Amino acid sequence: HYRLVSGTATPSPPRTANMSALRLTILAATIAYASALQGTCEVCHLHYYHKDVSHAETWGSDVSICKEYEHEACCTKDTVKKIDKNSKLYGDYDLEACGLSSECKKYFIEESCFYECDRNVGKWRKHVDCDDAGEDNGWEIKGMPIKASYWDAWYEACKDDYFAWGTGGTYWDIPTYTTDSYKGTGAKNTKTAYTSCSKFGDTYKNGTMVAEVMWGGSFTYEKDESKAYAMTFPEGTANPNNALFTDKEYPRECAGHEVNLTHPGVDINGVRVSYTEVACPVDWHTQPNAGVSDRSSRGTLTCDSGLDSAKKELVSGTKCKASGTTCPATCKTLLDEVEVECFGMEFTYTPVGGTETYGKWNTDKLAWYNAADAERVLAKKEDACDDIIDQFILAATPSPAGIIRAPLMAIMGFVVAALLVIA
């Protein structure tokens, strides 16, 4: 992002003005090219089947639901396929125990897509520290406003369908009442398959009850639809939910669920991938909408000592000492280890009750790399390994500067040299 500052300008000499124009042309073209390649990444803040960070997915033609979230998803293809498989994403919660029309089932699928895929749901996590009376609960949400018209349509689509509800009347009562002890006389997936089968419209009288009773307080029935989320939207369009409640803070990151900011995604084979592999901007974690928040209370981290020893090795050790024009592989390994150990962590963090000190590695690492590089220069240790260090400096430089820095500097170097020759 750039900000123009008004003021009195001194006319530039023609040659300088031409350089400025060329520089702006190159900058604009490079930013436009880089932006076309980048996706969006935001921390998800829920912990069920969710990824750490939402980013673009490629699900292919064998996936027919949740497609609207494919460009920025907190869910994986594997999760989406489970949503579509007999509505049994959550184990024994069998929605179709008493039979289910396709018109009604559609709404339950859309709710599952919304909950698992839309990163905005994480803003409404119920437990700030994922602590529910000593139990780890990072999945539950509370009071998220959804458009009233959607709940009304849901009620109309399902009111004549049968469900095996329990006495509590919430979605979570289903498994207790679909056991063999409640077997009815009818065929499987019919309204007499279980003795507990009852009409949806007899349990919930209107859209308000569908919203606020069936989901146990997770959602609300919001009549002012300008202040309400949409559970679905047309595929290929921007997520309208991203424009809502932009001032609402994300909850604190929970102990045991720390987000790896350098490697935000996990593919369906369980392999963690870097942000560049999922087309996220280099500085995605510094953006206001990224959802990167304070860490939950936990024991002191010791990233500081790891950084100190790494800097000493970088400046005076052998791991980043080149032989002629060849830098040993140990140099990149050293810096990769620093990234893995420290990136996304605080330099120091004391438990609640003490003085909490924040010094986030993800915002301060550029200064660390530059300081280490400067110490190498001061110690006259410059060699071929500087190219490796420059790669890490480049990756740490905020986008779009981080993306354009090297090519732009190289281009401008040639331009300056050419103009000096002309002069």
The DSSP code sequence of 288-334 is TTS---PBPS-SPP-HHHHHHHHHHHHHHSSTT--BTTB--HHHHHH
Sort strands 144-147 and 219-222 into parallel, antiparallel or unpaired. parallel
Closest by CA position to 331, among listed 316, 321, 341, 342:
321
Provide the greatest CA pair distance for the chain.
97
User: What pLDDT score does 266 carry?
Assistant: 53
Distance between CA atoms of 112 and 97, rounded to whole angstroms? 18
74 burial level (CB within 10 Å; 0-12, 13-18, 19+): buried
CA 338 to chain centroid: 22
Confidence of residue 364 (pLDDT cuts 50, 70, 90): low
Find the angle CA(256)-CA(261)-CA(262) to the nearest 5 degrees. Answer: 125
Is residue 281 over pLDDT 50?
Answer: yes
Find the mean pLDDT for residues 323-329.
93
Confidence of residue 245 (pLDDT cuts 50, 70, 90): very high
Between 305 and 52, the higher pLDDT residue: 52
DSSP symbol at 199: E
Count CA within 13 A, CB hemisphere, residue 195: 7
Count CA within 13 A, CB hemisphere, residue 182: 19
- Per-residue tokens: 237: 């369009």
Helix (H, G, I), strand (E, B) or coil at 162: strand
Number of helices and strands (H, E) in the chain? Answer: 11, 10
Distance between CA atoms of 176 and 172, rounded to whole angstroms? 9
User: What pLDDT score does 154 carry?
Assistant: 97
User: Does the model's pTM come out above 0.75?
Assistant: no
CA 181 to chain centroid: 43
Distance between CA atoms of 187 and 161, rounded to whole angstroms? 16
Between the alpha carbon of residue 5 and those of residues 8, 55, 196, the distances in Å are 10, 34, 69
- Per-residue tokens: 123: 């803003």
Highest mean pLDDT among 132-146, 158-172, 341-355: 132-146
The per-residue pLDDT for range 87-98, each reduced to its tens digit, is 566 766 678 889
Confidence of residue 27 (pLDDT cuts 50, 70, 90): very low
